[in-house]
Amino acid sequence: MAEGIARMISGRLTMRADVERDQATGTDSWGNPTVPDFQPLGTLKCFAWSTSSREIVDGDKTAMVEDMRVMFALDADIEEGDEISAIKDRQGTVIIPGRLKVDGPVQRKHTHLEAALMRIG
């Protein structure tokens, strides 16, 4: 039964995320973390979706906020703070442009990993 569930989840992973991880280490001369240095980690099978979107109005400023989530296979190398430069379909066409950051801890579900995404920029 577990193999059947794993196949079902892998069948849902119809998208591909180009994942990058910060490789910067250490601190500067003031003791602050060094400037982030995101380097490509790899392309992971995934499925991303929007849970909701809303408009926020603050005086003369208006912003759209979209809550997004993404799921990966249980063995995916994905961590809090990783960034996604783009999410593509199987043919390589960008369907969700980046930059997206894995926001908060990656949650381990019974059949997959799941994470919240935050748009950067």
Q: 98: domain CATH number?
A: 2.40.10.370
Summarised one tens digit per residue, pLDDT across range 52-109 is 666 777 778 776 667 899 999 999 999 999 999 999 999 999 999 989 999 999 999 9
Report yes or no on 29 lying in a domain: no
Claim: this prediction has a pTM higher than 0.85:
no
Summarised one tens digit per residue, pLDDT across range 103-120 is 999 999 989 999 999 987
* Domain encompassing residue 11: 2-23+36-119
Number of domains present in the structure of the chain: 1
Three-state secondary structure along the chain? Answer: CHHHHHHHHHHHCCEEEEEEEECCCCECCCCCECCCCEEEEEEEEEEEEEEEEEEEEECCEEEEEEEEEEEECCCCCCCCCCEEEEEECCCCCEEEEEEEEEEEEEEECCCCEEEEEEECC
